[in-house]
Amino acid sequence: MASEYTYDDEGETWPFFVLAVLSFILIPLTISWGLRIYRQDNPLSINKDIKGAILENETTLELENTIEINKFQKKQKSSAKYFNKTFFAIVIGWALCLYIAKYQTVETQLIGAFDPYTILDISAFSSEKEVKSRYRKLSLKFHPDKLPKDLTDAAKEEMEANFIQINLAYKALTDEVTRNNFLRYGHPDGPQEIKHGIAIPKIFVEGKYSSLMIVVYFLLIGGVLPFIVGSWWNNVKTHTKRGLHIDTAALFARKLADKSPTKVITPYELLDWVCQSQEIVSMTSHLPLNPQIVVKHLISRHLFRDFELTQDETKYEREKLAIVAQLPKLIDGLIEIASIFRFTDVVLAASDLRKCVVQGVPPIGKYQEILQLPYVDPKVVSQQEVKKLGKLFTLNKEEQKKALGISDDAKLETALSIAKSIPMIRVLDAAFVVPGENNEAEGGLPSGSVPPSAQAHISIKFLIKSPYHKSCPEIDDEDLKDEETIEYMRDPVTTTNESQPLLPYTYAPYFPSNFRNNWFGYLISQRDNKLVEGSSVATLENVSLANLALTKEQFIKGEGLTISTFKIALTTPTPGAEGNYTFRLVLKNNGYFGCDVDIPITMTVEQPKVPAGKILTKKVRKIMEIQGDADEEDDDTDYSGSDISDPEEDSLAGALAALRGGSVKSSAKGEEEEEEDDEGDNESIFTDINTDTEDES
Amino acid sequence: MDEETAEKIIKVSIWTPLLYVGVLMTCFIVFSVLYRRRKVENLSKIEPIFPENHTHSLYLFLKQQYTNPDATKESKPHEKVMKAALLRRGVEAIRRSLKLKEIEPSFNRLYQEGLIGDEMFKNFQFQAKFQEMDLKDIVQECETYKKGWVNQFFPVAQEICFNEALRRRLASMDERSKTFSIQWQYFVDKSEGAPAAPAPVEKEKNAIENQKEKVEEPTVEKTEEAKVKA
Amino acid sequence: MNVPLAYDAKTKQLSLPKEAERVVPLVKLEVDQLNTLVQELIANGSDVPPPPTPENFNKDMSKMIKKLYEGGVQAFKQGKYEESAKQFNIGVAMIARRTKFESFQGTLQELGLFLMSRADAYLKTKNYLGAFNDADMLIGMMMVTPDNFLRRGVANYLLGNYEDARADYQRGLSFDPDNQRLTTELEIVLDKILEENGDYL
């Protein structure tokens, strides 16, 4: 009896089972739906809360492609914002839950759960005396003999049942045997019947539905489950960790592995690679003729903001947006792979390409900074001299109109207000820092120096400025120091970076989807012009743009100025040998032209001073420096420092000398000697040439 | 009646497990066949890192003619041709080996960080092994022409490899110029001082003469300079 | 590779059918490179090519190349920049015609010399793209001297690539922090960048 399987005839458990399953599905679904609504909220409304953000988009600007972009975004948001399929699924699901909970669940008697204290309504810590008095009181009330005569039969029965319960409870607390039973089985009567119910109503198992049930069961176990697991696994297998299709990743890796030094890496060349990616190919396989050519044509129309359509092209307008929307993700993937190969040229060209795609600006020529503004006439812009936003603000209104090719006053105003809000960076200081080491007054290293084999980071102090702001305010050196709190000492990089507000969404009216603005930081070795080994791409996403709201005068005077900090963690410790190590730090914005940073930065590795015996220390340091230099020469055969400092050579050589009519021959002489030093490493650069253009005849 | 039902039940109980196992087995077999076929397809679909090795096939083509007993004097390649072809094969093999060695750390890191798929990484390892075998094969071939040539063969092949690379780079100059002029929208051939390249003469003058009028440097550079000098 | 190849026993050259040349340009290139090597091997005489040493560096060629170089320098000094660039040009072409199994180091040195001088001549003749290209190749050859960065920087400056010029000067300075010329040029380009931005300090 105790281990008999029964089907759930009375609906005791199956509604609970169904409820549990439903809630398993419904709760995550509801949360994700809610989050999506929250996230999909108009970026403009988020930007409104961020100081200095640009509050324009394709709709407010009334651009040529607004309708198409809105359509595309709506489709992306899958049929309106709130009332999509998920919404209906959630509503129906919860309605079902309610219905089951309300009408299908039978109030079950909790047979197993017997609690004498509750029945007697006394505290679990009551003494035997208290139990007895309580029992007496209750039995007086419920005793069958003491019941009022006018009660109905049903009420009578209930009272009697209560009386039995009270008796049992009393015995459980006082009688030895019953008490043991209660302790062992949870019930004063001894072991209770245990029901193993299957949470399926009986009608489904017996009778005409039984075959259906088996089919459902088979489909579930044999079909749906393997399908879900399989497609999940397949997705894991076919996409890299960063969501790039593995074929695309393989394509990029192959292109980079066999990159020919004879070929110039331009944004257009990289666009070519990206167009061959699996994502684009599978998206466009239905296009007529040669899809690759159509794709390139469509992208080029986007880059040149070409909206004069032939009838054929109108059909592909939506495709164009879908392709364009994919590009930044693919380019980011390419950048990531290229940064592992440490190819500076690819990384920088790809960053520029990304901006071109986002702003709808051609990747050739030098006018991108102006062309990223709305309403400008590219033909007019490329025929005049002004290339930079900063220059634009030195002109008067008429000149501005002429430079931009905008004749409408209101439009000019809008374009300029956007130009004003593009966040430029003026670097105040950039140095390698090891927290707690750069306190010269207390015998630490001078600022800019780091001890060997230490965990350093790069600290960049900068001002966010509008192109409209000129010059640079006086900044006190003290303002450039970090306060070395305990939190800062523990994790200087995240503590500092995350103490600043998040950057707003990028103004990119020609681009169909929305993304947050940020800067990507790359550290490049000056020695070989490659990204530093083992360094990862740093992201600057927290900066206050409050400075953009300052007037020109306020900016110069430094009134209400915010100094921002960006810290880049280094993955490897500083070198063990003392000396100077030169790098180039490049920050590339992911959406705007004109706000990149490209500065040289030197790491001076130095032993911290030993406090005792100053003269001796100096000597020691000098010796150590010499040794350090010697070590370096051993390591790097490509360039030895010894011959550059020779003044004769550099004063004779050089293009400028030539321009002034200086002797070339003597310059060449100097070089001849140098080249001998360069031997050995000259070869490496030429091992990887592939595309052959050699003329043999 | 009772007997009949009993018999029926027994009959079913014999066939059910067999049927069950049978269906299950076919399912597994079909799946594994499909899976394997797809895997092979995927592997063959993945492009190798390097394009087709023409030097290799050219050498094999000549070798076949060279060793063909039916070949007339006319069609049998000269020994020097064979040596040259083998040298060229060696050159390409060296180029690829060096290249593979150079990119190995990058590929390891790409794989570790999950930026490339398993197949691409396997492909890379396969390529590395294949390259080793190719080099061994070249050594053997080399010995058939002249004993002990191997010692000289590889230094010479490496020299040719570098020299050819240098020449390719030289030859690519015009192409590069064209690319740059498009990239920068700088066109000179129209006449001096074309509109796209505004007044180069003036700029040049600036470059030389501006030196006298020194203006303060931007702060960034100033601090950097100071650091360098320090 | 399914291309019908023809072998000519007399000239010991391989050839492709004309129509195939267009279809498979890479194969055509391979065949050409092979033919050149065959010719060079035959011209060399010995049964296998000698290992590359400074001794078997073609001395006659070196002489001719040196003459061209001196001619170019002479022309440059006299202010005949076009002439000078032409001489250097011929010299570069001649270097490229050296036998392929000659010493790479020797070739590289010669070429470096010519490219540096040619870049200077190009700057004079306002062929800035040419000058940029030469300086770029020099740096690509790992001849990372401050002078080559100066050359590329100046070419970039004159091409209007001020940011690139700045990066070149700065990289040059990272190898020689006290280089006076690079420092002055850097100042000039920084001013130019400020001017382009309509900014001042």
Counted residue by residue, chain C has a size of 201
CB-closest option in A602, A684, A694 to B227: A602
Whether A436 and A417 share a structural domain: no
Query: Which residues in B lie closer than 8 A to residue C131 (C-beta atoms)?
Result: none
Q: Which residue has the higher pLDDT, B68 or C88?
A: C88
Q: What is the pLDDT of residue A637?
A: 31
Whether A302 and A408 share a structural domain: no
Query: A340 and B120: CB-CB below 8 Å?
Result: no
pLDDT tens-place string over residues A433-450: 888 777 666 667 777 788
Q: Which residue has the higher pLDDT, A121 or A529?
A: A529
Whether A459 and A472 share a structural domain: yes
Flag whether residue A257 sits within 8 Å of chain B, measured between CB atoms. Answer: yes
Considering Cα of A381, then A385, then A388, then A394, what sign does the dihedral take? negative
Q: Looking at residue A502, what DSSP letter applies?
A: B
Is the pLDDT at B61 greater than 90? The verdict is: no
Most confident of the following: A193-202, A531-540, A652-661, B152-161: B152-161
Q: What is the pLDDT of residue A75?
A: 73
Could you tell me which of B124, B173, B185 has the C-alpha nearest to residue A261?
Answer: B173
Flag whether residue A682 sits within 8 Å of chain C, measured between CB atoms. Answer: yes
Flag whether residue B23 sits within 8 Å of chain A, measured between CB atoms. Answer: no
Q: What is the pLDDT of residue A106?
A: 59
All residues at 6 or more sequence positions from A656 whose CB lies less than 8 Å from its CB, including other chains: A662, B207, B208, C150, C154, C181, C185
Q: What is the pLDDT of residue A624?
A: 42
CB A70 within 8 A of CB A58: yes
Q: What is the pLDDT of residue B230?
A: 30
pTM of the model: 0.75
Contacting chains of A (3 CB pairs or more, <8 Å) are B, C
The answer to whether residue A631 sits within a structural domain is no
Q: If contacts are CB pairs under 8 Å, which of residues 363-392 in chain A contact chain C?
A: 366, 387-392
Q: How far is A465 from chain C (nearest CA, A)?
A: 12
**Residue A540, SS3 per DSSP:** strand
Query: B172 and A263: CB-CB below 8 Å?
Result: yes
Query: C116 and A471: CB-CB below 8 Å?
Result: no
Q: What is the pLDDT of residue A83?
A: 64
Whole-number average pLDDT of chain A = 77
Q: How far apart are CA C170 and CA A651, in angstroms?
A: 18
Whether A556 and A470 share a structural domain: yes
Q: Looking at residue B77, what DSSP letter applies?
A: P
Helix axis angle, A267-275 relative to A246-257, nearest 10°? 140
How much is the average pLDDT of C30-59?
81
Q: What is the pLDDT of residue B132?
A: 93
Most confident of the following: A189-203, A314-328, B196-210: A314-328
The answer to whether residue A110 sits within a structural domain is no
CB-closest option in A364, A604, A656 to B182: A364
Query: A681 and C145: CB-CB below 8 Å?
Result: no
Q: What is the pLDDT of residue A206?
A: 66
Q: So where are chain B's domains?
A: 1-45, 50-171, 187-229
pLDDT tier at C112, thresholds 50, 70, 90: very high
The answer to whether residue A688 sits within a structural domain is no
Which DSSP string corresponds to chain C? -----EEETTTTEEE--HHHHHH-HHHHHHHHHHHHHHHHHHHH-SSSPPPP-STTS-HHHHHHHHHHHHHHHHHHHTT-HHHHHHHHHHHHHHHHTS-TTS-HHHHHHHHHHHHHHHHHHHHHTT-HHHHHHHHHHHHHTT---HHHHHHHHHHHHHTT-HHHHHHHHHHHHHH-TT-HHHHHHHHHHHHHHHHHTT---
How much is the average pLDDT of B57-84?
84
Q: Which domain does A676 fall in, by range? A: 637-655+662-681
CB-closest option in A242, A604, A660 to B115: A242
CATH number at residue A317: 1.10.3380
Q: What is the pLDDT of residue A617?
A: 42
Flag whether residue C54 sits within 8 Å of chain A, measured between CB atoms. Answer: no
> Among A18-22, A453-457, A679-683, where is mean pLDDT lowest?
A679-683
pLDDT tier at B51, thresholds 50, 70, 90: confident
Is the pLDDT at A655 greater than 70? The verdict is: no
Whether A442 and A343 share a structural domain: no
Place of tokens 């350090």: A628
How much is the average pLDDT of A476-503?
85
pLDDT tier at A7, thresholds 50, 70, 90: low
Could you tell me which of C182, A334, C163 has the C-alpha nearest to residue B184?
Answer: C163
Is domain C145-201 classified as CATH 1.25.40?
yes
Flag whether residue C48 sits within 8 Å of chain A, measured between CB atoms. Answer: no
Chain centroid, CA A293 distance in Å: 32
Q: Which CATH number fits domain C57-126: 1.20.58, 1.10.287, 3.90.380, 3.90.1720?
A: 1.20.58
Token readout for A458 is 């790069």
Whether A502 and A608 share a structural domain: yes
Q: So where are chain C's domains?
A: 6-44, 57-126, 145-201
Whether A401 and A337 share a structural domain: no
Helical residues (DSSP H) of B118-149, grouped into ranges = 118-145
Q: If contacts are CB pairs under 8 Å, which of residues 148-207 in chain B contact chain C?
A: 149, 152-153, 155-156, 159-160, 162-164, 166-167, 169-171, 173, 176-177, 180-181, 184, 186, 188, 192, 197-198, 200-201, 203-204, 206-207
Per the structure, the count of domains in chain A is: 7
Q: What is the pLDDT of residue A6?
A: 60
How much is the average pLDDT of B68-74?
76
